[in-house]
Amino acid sequence: MNTKVLLAVVGPTAIGKTALGIQLAKHFDTEIISADSRQFFKEMKIGTAVPSGEELNQAPHHFIQHKSIFEPYSVGDFEKDAIALLDNLYQKKDIAIMVGGSGLYVDAVISGLDEFPKVDPQIRETLNKELEDNGLESLQKELKQRDPEYYKTVDLENPHRLIRALEVCRAANKPYSSFLNQQKPERLFKSLYIGIDAPREVVYQRINSRVELMMEAKLLEEAKKLYPYKELNALQTVGYKELFEYIDGKCTLDFAVSEIKKNTRRFAKRQLTWLRKNETILWVPYNTEQEKVLQMVTDRIKTNQYA
C-alpha cells in the first residue's frame, strides 16, 4: 500500500504557487521540487521569477538553477531526476511538495511519459527555421496533414507543442498521436493536485505587476548578457524573446515590455487550458486563508482522496 504522498501546487503564472508551496513544506516539514522548466537554468534568474533568497531559505528547494542554458535538459531527464530524488526523500519523509507552472513536467512526474522515438536535433533546427521564415500557420498546416487527430486537440498557438509533434512525425514517419496514451509506469506514491484559482482580471493584473518588477530588477541587462545565445532552446522564452527584438532594433522598449505582458497573459491562458483537462485538481481561490488551505489538504490526505 502506498503511504507516500506528493502534493503538486499548480496554477497560472504569478498566482502565488511559490508562497503556497513553502507554507505546505513548512506545515508538513518537508522539501520542495520545482517543476518550472525555465527556473532550471542558472543564467535566467530575473525573467523566470526564481524564488527569492528569503523564500529559498524557508524550505529546502530542488531543481532551481541547477542547469546551464548550454546543457540540454528535457522533460524526460527531469522525470528521471525527480523520481530519483523522491525515492531518496521518501526514505525520511512521508510527504513531498512539487511546485510549478509547467504542466507537462508536473504530469510527467505524477503519471509518467509516453515513449517517443529519438529525433535528430537537425529536424528541430529545421522546424525552428521554418517557423521563423514562414510563421506558425505553415506548421499548423503540416500538422493537420500529418496528424489530424492531434491537430484537433493541441494548442495551435503554442509553437513548442507544434514543433515537438512535427519533429516526431518527421523522424518516425508516423503520427505523433500514435505514440500517446501508452501504458504508464506505476508510481510508489499517491498524488494530489492543488490548483490556485483566480478571476482572469486578477491573473492579468498580477502578471502586469510582475513584468514591471522584473524590468525594475534589470531584466533588460540580463537579456543583453544572454543575447549572444538567443538561438538556444532555453531562451525561446517569454520575457527574453521580446527584449531580443528590442536589442535587434526591431521595436521600442515600451513595445517590447507590452509584448512581454501580452505573451505572458497568453501563456497563463494556455496553462489554465492544460489544467482544466485534469478533473482531479483540488481548486482553491487565490485569496483563501492559508490555514484553511492547509486544513483542506490535510483532510484530503486523512480521508485518502487523491488524484
Annotated binding-site members for substrate: 13-18
Q: Is the pLDDT of residue 92 over 50?
A: yes
User: Where exactly does CATH 3.40.50.300 map onto the chain?
Assistant: 5-113+184-302
Which residue has 520575457 as its cell numbers? 239
Q: Binding site membership: which residues?
A: 11-18
Which CATH architecture best describes the domain 121-179? Answer: Orthogonal Bundle (1.10)
pLDDT in the model for residue 118: 84
CB-based burial label for 115 (10 Å; 0-12, 13-18, 19+): exposed
- pLDDT tens digits, one per residue of 253-268: 999 999 999 999 999 9
Q: What is the structure's pLDDT at 162?
A: 93
What's this model's pTM, rounded to 2 decimal places? 0.84
Cell of 7: 502534493
Report the range of poorest mean pLDDT among 28-37, 119-128, 218-227.
119-128
Its sign, for the CA torsion 272, 275, 280, 282, is negative
For position 1, what pLDDT does the model report?
47
- CATH code: domain 5-113+184-302 is 3.40.50.300
User: How far apart are alpha carbons 86 and 137 in whole angstroms?
Assistant: 41
Domain with CATH 1.10.20.140 in the chain: 121-179
pLDDT band at 14 (very low <50, low <70, confident <90, very high): very high
Hey, how many other C-beta atoms are within 10 angstroms of the C-beta on 249? 7
Per-residue pLDDT at 307: 60
pLDDT value, residue 185:
80
Residues making up the binding site for ATP: 11-18
Identify which of 231, 113, 135, 126 has the alpha carbon closest to the alpha carbon of residue 171: 126
